């Protein structure tokens, strides 16, 4: 039996939305301080992430890291953990609830409960000019999950091993020197660096389109806590067609880590765990 449409359907639909999480009271990073600090950085390490693979990197609190397009258009799937406590990890869903579907300069990557604190703040985004295109697409999303072999198997069958989920799992297992089964539960929903995505207006489906990123573009962060990061160079390449096969043209991604001045390290405010008392009413 089809549901009848109520007489006041139009009126119910016409109710204006309210923002779920108004951010007027959200503590803001000292962006002016960060922007001054980024003009005085010394590179301390770098790793080139091979296509269809992932690599890990460490960023001490207060240091900067930069993810750059290298050789060709390529998107990356980023995981972040507290380097000293892997159970504290990037919380894509809450970051989305606070900042919206895509993030850029001045916005932050938040960590999981019970910590819920900034893990990293974006200090520069060479793609911030892109905005929201006519399809509703934008860059650097926190709406996707990460391409994974389980969804691929569900939809197409077969065993594909170079999805970002598997790349991140292998890289983390190698870094921790633990079996894959021990590393895999730590892999989580990502920041889709350089990926251009949105939801279709007619069906509400998650879409991707060719990334506008070009070699030399980069996304730069300051680490708010000691970070272990893992970045996968997605098998989707620029994500213009598909992402769970060896079909797309893929390129490496460069991760560089930079040390700021001593004065910045002493001036910056530490990112502290959330102040909720965790009694949950008992
Ligand atoms: Zn991927």
Residue 262 CA to ligand 1 centre (angstroms): 37
What's the pLDDT score for residue 2?
66
* The pairing of beta strand 227-233 with beta strand 42-49: unpaired
Which residues are placed with Cβ below 5 angstroms of ligand 1, an ion? 77, 147, 164, 234
Residue 211 CA to ligand 1 centre (angstroms): 13
Residue 77 CA to ligand 1 centre (angstroms): 6
Residue 234 CA to ligand 1 centre (angstroms): 4
Q: Find the angle CA(227)-CA(168)-CA(47) to the nearest 5 degrees.
A: 60
Place of tokens 């990061």: 229
C-beta atoms surrounding 276 within 10 Å: 10
The rounded distance, in Å, linking the Cα atoms of 248 and 240 is 8
What's the pLDDT score for residue 1?
57
Question: SS3 helix, strand, coil % of the chain, rounded to 5?
Answer: 20, 30, 50
pLDDT digit of tens for each residue in the chain (282 aa)? 567 999 999 999 999 999 998 889 999 999 999 999 999 999 999 999 999 999 999 999 999 999 999 999 999 999 999 999 999 999 999 999 999 999 999 999 999 999 999 999 999 999 999 999 999 999 999 999 999 999 999 999 999 999 999 999 999 999 999 999 999 999 999 999 999 999 999 999 999 999 999 999 999 999 999 999 999 999 999 888 877 778 889 999 999 999 999 999 999 999 999 999 999 999
| Residues counted in the chain | 282
């Amino acid at each position: 039996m089809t549901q009848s449409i109520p007489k006041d359907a139009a009126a119910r639909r016409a109710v204006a939305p309210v923002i779920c999480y108004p951010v007027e009271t959200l503590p803001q990073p000292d962006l002016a301080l960060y922007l001054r600090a980024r003009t005085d950085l010394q590179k301390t390490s770098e790793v080139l992430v091979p296509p269809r693979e992932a690599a890990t990197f460490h960023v001490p609190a207060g240091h900067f890291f930069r993810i750059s397009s290298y050789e060709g258009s390529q998107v990356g799937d980023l995981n972040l953990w507290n380097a000293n406590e892997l159970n504290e990890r990037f919380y894509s869903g809450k970051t989305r609830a606070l900042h919206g579907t895509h993030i850029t300069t001045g916005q932050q990557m938040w960590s999981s409960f019970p910590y819920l604190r900034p893990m990293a703040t974006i200090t520069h985004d060479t793609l911030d000019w892109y905005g929201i295109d006519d399809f509703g697409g934008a860059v650097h999303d926190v709406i996707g999950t990460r391409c994974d072999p389980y969804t691929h198997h569900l939809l197409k069958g077969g065993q594909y091993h170079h999805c970002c989920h598997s790349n991140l799992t292998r890289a983390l297992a190698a870094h921790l020197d633990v079996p894959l089964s021990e590393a895999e539960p730590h892999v989580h929903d990502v920041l889709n660096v350089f990926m251009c995505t949105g939801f279709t207006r007619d069906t509400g489906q998650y879409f991707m389109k060719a990334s506008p990123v070009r070699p030399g573009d980069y996304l730069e962060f300051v680490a708010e806590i000691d970070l272990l990061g893992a970045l996968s160079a997605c098998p989707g390449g620029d994500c213009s067609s598909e992402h769970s096969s060896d079909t797309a043209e893929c390129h490496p991604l460069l991760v560089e880590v930079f040390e700021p001045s001593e004065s910045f390290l002493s001036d910056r405010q530490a990112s502290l765990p959330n102040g909720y008392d965790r009694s949950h009413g008992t």
